[in-house]
Amino acid sequence: MRIVLLGCPGAGKGTQSKILSERYGFPHIATGDLFRAEITAGSVLGLQVAGYLKSGTLVPDAVVVEMVAGKLQGCPDGFLLDGFPRTLEQAQALDKLLRQEGSQIDMVMHLHMREEEVVRRLTGRRSCSSCGALYNVVSHLPRVDGKCDHCGADLIQRDDDGSAIVRKRLMVYEDLTRPLVAYYRAANVFRELDGGRPVEEVTLALMAVIDGARVRS
Ligand code: AMP
């Protein structure tokens, strides 16, 4: 299946995508993670995009689309997109790329959340500096303070999870990404889910949608 997980920063796209891609074996393509890996590696692309990530603004469409196009070539049987598309131009470019190979997006699932809850979640978010596992100082504490449950490495806060940048990222989402809800609703591949519920409940709701679509196809 070709799935897009849509939602504002902090709605749980990363957490849920990791769970779903393990459960179903879908390749997980997370553009934010890919950019952060390039920045850490000090690559040309990493240097090119670092300023955008730091300021909470979007990387130019052409740069993102080129990176995603390369990744999609390795996924002929489907994928789970997390953090892409984020603009109408990206959505149209994705449709075009898929049309060229005779396929299309099968499903878009939108995790919606209230803004205050999003800010609380994002500013409390921590991730493992080694394996990337996600935690939250409010809702999902590690067993040992500041250390990853899985590998024991230090937990860190993302550079762009401070409150000023979080608010900037939410404004960018409202302006540029929210219009995708109408775009995909019109394409009839759209499902809306409450991202504010506990992680396990959201996972079950997403799985019900995916399993239902698989039975029908
Ligand atoms: P994320 O981890 O998805 O919250 O993304 C972190 C940052 O990476 C965003 O604030 C943007 O600067 C950049 N980014 C990730 N995905 C995209 C995208 N599809 N289009 C433009 N910029 C992106």
CB neighbour list of residue 1: distance below 8 Å, 6 or more residues apart: 24, 26, 78, 106, 107, 210, 213, 214, 217
What single DSSP character describes residue 154? B
Least reliable range by pLDDT among 55-69, 96-110, 156-170: 156-170
Report pLDDT for 138: 80
User: Chain-wide mean pLDDT for the chain?
Assistant: 93
State which ligand 1 atom lies nearest to the alpha carbon of 86: 19
For residue 150, report the distance from its CA to the centre of ligand 1, in Å: 26
Task: Take atom 8 of ligand 1 and give the residue whose Cα is closest.
Answer: 32
**Residue 216 confidence (pLDDT) above 80:** no
Q: Could you tell which of 15, 16, 29, 31 is best to mutate to test the pocket of ligand 1, judged by most ligand atoms within 8 Å of the CB?
A: 31
For residue 216, report the distance from its CA to the centre of ligand 1, in Å: 33
Report pLDDT for 106: 94
Report pLDDT for 213: 85
Sorting pLDDT into bands at 50, 70 and 90, what band is 72? Answer: very high
Report pLDDT for 189: 86
**Residue 217 confidence (pLDDT) above 80:** no
Sorting pLDDT into bands at 50, 70 and 90, what band is 67? Answer: very high
For residue 121, report the distance from its CA to the centre of ligand 1, in Å: 17
Report pLDDT for 158: 87
State which ligand 1 atom lies nearest to the alpha carbon of 13: 3
CA distance 142 to 134: 9
Q: Could you tell which of 6, 57, 86, 97 is best to mutate to test the pocket of ligand 1, judged by most ligand atoms within 8 Å of the CB?
A: 86
